[in-house]
Amino acid sequence: MAVNRHKDVVRPVRSSGPLSIWFGRHASTAIASFGRLLKQPFASLMIVLVIGVTLALPAALNLVVKNAAAVSGRWDNALDFSVFLQQDQSLADAKNLAQLIEQRADVASVQVISADDALQEFKAQSGFGDALNQLSHNPLPHTLVVRPGPQNTGQSMVLLREELNNLPETELVQVDTDWVQRFHAILDIVQQAILIGSVLLAAAIVVIIGNTIRLDIQNRREEIEVTKLIGASNGFVRRPFLWTGFWYGLLGGLLAIGLVLYGLYLLQAPITRLAGLYQSDANVLSFDLREIGTIVGISVGLGLVGSWFAAARHMRRIEPR
């Protein structure tokens, strides 16, 4: 007798693979951990605020250094040399010398400032106009403002300065932007200080999250004992606490970025007004996507590290009686 197969017979459902089961368990644990944070909003908010403010401080300082480096980078393109000529050089000699120097491949432009123009500018800006009118002759020499080309390196800049100084018409060569190099040195020191401070603050965040997880473990001691009693491993019991540290780190990192961006928004108008007084444009740099990802990633990593150490240390001490 032939066996008839009914089309409406329900076929057995194949079980999901181990990877799907792993993701499913972690997803449910993550949702449960986040829900536990929402059940105690005030305590969770305090922890997130501490993490956010702690991370916002080095992030804001790093953003300040970033903007300062960008501004000084524009100054690097204007490393001007002031070439003071000897007193016996006439204005025609100064213009001829300027044409010769401007023909060099490593020079972008040369500006001639006559002695009379320099004296008039000094009178206007110094406030000693009446006293300077008593001078019998102009003590200022003709000056050439030499702007090197952008392709120059540090070594070629030194060589150009030496060659300008060795000209027979030259009395003195002054680098107008020596202070830029000092400013860069100060920025390097500030960056190292920010790095050291960031490490110390990161350690503080690990301690804060670890202490919070430790208290959570103590409050759930009986639950952990029952879970271990029915055969749960330390890794299974530790999983929700790791997700709690993850949520603390994620929310704290996002809050830190929000605080810095809000502070930048409040400073935008004063910075624009200050730049306008110097006839300059205010292009304030903010975080890019890579920096945002780095801050959030560091915050999440600190949350996981703090929760891992706390859970690994205190989990072994809790065993079913």
Residue 281, pLDDT score: 66
Mean pLDDT score of the chain: 81
Rounded to an integer, what distance in angstroms lies between the CA atom of residue 35 and that of residue 209?
A: 18
CATH 3.40.50.300 fits 80-176, yes or no: no
CB count in 10 Å sphere of residue 228: 17
Residue 8: per-residue pLDDT: 44
Phi and psi, residue 106, nearest 5°: -95, 10
Q: What is the pLDDT of residue 5?
A: 47
Partners of 85 in beta bridges: 170
pLDDT at res. 127: 61
Instruction: Give the per-residue pLDDT at 56.
Output: 94
d(CA 319, CA 321) in angstroms, rounded, equals 6
The domain locations on the chain are: 29-75+181-315, 80-176
The pair of structure tokens assigned to 63 is 């953003």
Question: Three-state SS string across 236-266, please?
Answer: HHHHHHHHHHHHHHHHHHHHHHHHHHHHHHH
Q: What is the pTM of this model?
A: 0.66
- C-alpha 99/C-alpha 291 separation (Å) is 48
The tens digit of pLDDT for each residue in 141-183 reads: 889 988 888 777 767 878 888 888 899 888 888 876 666 677 7
Cα 15 off chain centre by: 49
Spatial strand order in the sheet of 81-85 = 107-113, 143-148, 81-85, 170-175
Render the burial of 83-108: b for 16+ CB within 10 Å, e for the rest: bbbeeebeeeebeebbeebeeeeebb
Give the tens place of pLDDT for each residue, 222-273: 887 787 787 777 778 888 889 999 999 999 999 999 999 999 888 888 877 8
- Is the CB of residue 123 less than 8 Å from the CB of residue 186? no
Query: 302 with 206: CB under 8 angstroms?
Result: yes
3-state secondary structure at position 152: coil
For residue 1, the model assigns a pLDDT of: 43
Q: Which residues of the chain have pLDDT under 70?
A: 1-17, 71-79, 123, 125-136, 154, 176-180, 275, 277-282, 318-321
Alpha helix stretches (DSSP H) within 40-174:
41-76, 91-102, 115-126, 129-132, 154-165
Q: What is the pLDDT of residue 185?
A: 80
| 109 Ramachandran zone, left/alpha/beta (phi>0; psi -120 to 50) | beta
CB neighbours (10 Å) of residue 161?
18
